[in-house]
Amino acid sequence: MQKAIRVAFASIPKDSGTFTFYRNLRPQLAKQGIEMFCVSVGKREAELWDKAYADENCVKLAPKSLKIKKQAKHFVKWVRDAKIDIVMGINSRPILSAIEHLPQQVHALARCANGFDHGYKITLSGKPRLERIVALTPKLRQDLITSYGVSANEIELIPNGINPDAYKQARKAKRGAQKVLQLAFIGRLENTQKGVFHIPKILEALKKRDIPFKLSIAGKGRHKSILKDLLEIYLHEGSVEFMGALKADELADFMGTQDILLFTSHFEGCPNTLLEAMMAGMVPVSWLIEGTTDFIIDHQKNGFVHTTKDYAGFAESIASLNDNRALLDNLSKASADKALKYFTNTIAAKAYANLFKEVVAQAKFHEPKSWSEFTPDPNFETGLSDYLPASLVTKIKNFKSAVLKK
């Protein structure tokens, strides 16, 4: 019997895209003889650990340690003891710092999931040891090649995959059945990446067109209070509702009641929220992130993509769906069909399984660096927050948001 391939994937059990990736992929990989572990290392990561999300393959190492070298040593020992074949460091500083110290037979892969400079830089952490890099979208792949000097043959394009069964009931819903359009924003309530401050301007453009709507905002984040102030008039009249963060088991039911997803991000990797909404049959209306949103959405066929800040165009697309409810329902079906054809966890798992098997079969060996040569990964800044409880760091961030509000 062929030995199962064992993969260590750096993540923290919590409400995040990285952990969602692990949760979606792990059971599908198991069917192909690949065992995946979610690994968290050090006190900072342990403080973010949510046991409600953890499964039996979630591993917590050195949970009281604040010293990066000690954390890295704990991880390397665990890799050796657990007979791990492949390590994916993702955005864990201790694991990325340990890459060049891994046992010689262990393979290191990277996964590029974020389209900004720091995301690209940590993707390339431990570059001498990296055997392959997974890019989630064409944009990420092209940026790695043109701006970061990665060879095209080192990169695999594998988009995220969503479990279609979780959204089966939602896909059956008829869209546009209610008199008032049901709009939704789902995600972290902050503006730098998620662009939530575009929402009031989008609603203003809808008001000018006399489009009746109900917007449900699901999520939490540091700009929530500012956004609530900006939407005060809509909250007062009842056309906007803040629902808080939804649990994973609540999300599909919610999406089944919504017609349109407002996707206002400035940059993304391969956004799970967008894929989940389409899998559920919501029609996305999005800003253009070249090589990302236009890779996922086919404009006017299963959703709409507009240049950022084109509020008039954004509102016009929504107006067309309000005026033609049959079109809304048809685009809903087309949206789900696109997700089912290209973005399931089965498709993603097959691509990852092929990659893992290919890498292990090559049997490359790398001489590990001595611990006397250890240096923490330079792509992470060491600051006071590294030595403070996670709860206190959150309070500091909230205080900064309150100052910004003033």
Per-residue pLDDT tens for 352-363? 999 999 999 987
For the cut 80, the answer to whether the pLDDT of residue 392 exceeds it is no
Name residues whose C-beta falls within 8 Å of residue 241's C-beta, 6 or more positions apart in sequence: 214, 215, 216, 217, 235
At 406 the pLDDT is 46
- Strand pairing report for 130-135 and 107-112: parallel
Residue-range domain boundaries for the chain: 5-161+345-388, 164-342
At 393 the pLDDT is 54
Residue indicated by tokens 């236009």:
294
Q: What is the pTM of this model?
A: 0.87
Query: How confident is the model over 177-196, as pLDDT tens digits?
Result: 999 999 999 999 999 999 99
> What is d(CA 123, CA 109) in angstroms, rounded to the nearest whole number?
9
What architecture is domain 5-161+345-388?
3-Layer(aba) Sandwich (3.40)
Nearest residue to 34 (alpha-carbon basis) of 363, 342, 350, 361: 350
Cross-strand bridge partners of residue 110:
133
**Neighbour count for residue 325 (Cβ, 10 Å):** 16
> What is d(CA 187, CA 179) in angstroms, rounded to the nearest whole number?
26
How far from chain centre, in Å, is Cα 181? 27
CATH superfamily entry for domain 164-342: Glycogen Phosphorylase B; (3.40.50.2000)
At 247 the pLDDT is 84
> What is d(CA 329, CA 322) in angstroms, rounded to the nearest whole number?
11
At 275 the pLDDT is 97
Average model confidence (pLDDT) across the chain: 93
For the cut 60, the answer to whether the pLDDT of residue 34 exceeds it is yes
H helical segments located in 12-165:
17-30, 43-48, 68-81, 93-98, 117-123, 138-148
3-class DSSP state for residue 39? strand
Beta strands (DSSP E) in 115-180 are: 130-135, 155-157
Give the pLDDT band (50/70/90) at residue 384.
very low
Query: How confident is the model over 125-158, as pLDDT tens digits?
Result: 999 999 999 999 999 999 999 999 999 999 999 9
CB 278 within 8 A of CB 186: no
Task: For residue 56, give the amino acid letter.
Answer: E
Q: Is 291 left (phi over 0), alpha (psi -120 to 50) or beta?
A: left
Q: Higher model confidence: residue 297 or residue 383?
A: 297
At 389 the pLDDT is 55
> What is d(CA 123, CA 379) in angstroms, rounded to the nearest whole number?
10
Give the pLDDT band (50/70/90) at residue 405.
very low
Q: Give backbone dihedrals phi and psi of 260, rounded to 5 degrees, phi first.
A: -130, 135
For the cut 60, the answer to whether the pLDDT of residue 84 exceeds it is yes
How far from chain centre, in Å, is Cα 136? 10
Average pLDDT score over residue span 366-388: 80
Task: For residue 57, give the amino acid letter.
Answer: N
Q: Give backbone dihedrals phi and psi of 286, rounded to 5 degrees, phi first.
A: -135, 155
Query: How confident is the model over 212-249, as pLDDT tens digits?
Result: 999 999 999 999 999 999 999 999 999 999 999 998 78
Query: How confident is the model over 39-67, as pLDDT tens digits?
Result: 999 999 999 999 999 999 999 999 999 99
At 363 the pLDDT is 79
- What Å distances lie between residue 314 and 269, 325, 400, CA to CA? 22, 17, 31
> What is d(CA 92, CA 61) in angstroms, rounded to the nearest whole number?
12
Give the pLDDT band (50/70/90) at residue 83.
very high
Average pLDDT score over residue span 274-299: 97
CB 340 within 8 A of CB 67: no
For the cut 70, the answer to whether the pLDDT of residue 388 exceeds it is no
3-class DSSP state for residue 71? helix
For the cut 70, the answer to whether the pLDDT of residue 268 exceeds it is yes
> What is d(CA 187, CA 221) in angstroms, rounded to the nearest whole number?
9
Q: What percent of the chain has pLDDT over 70?
A: 93
Give the pLDDT band (50/70/90) at residue 165.
very high
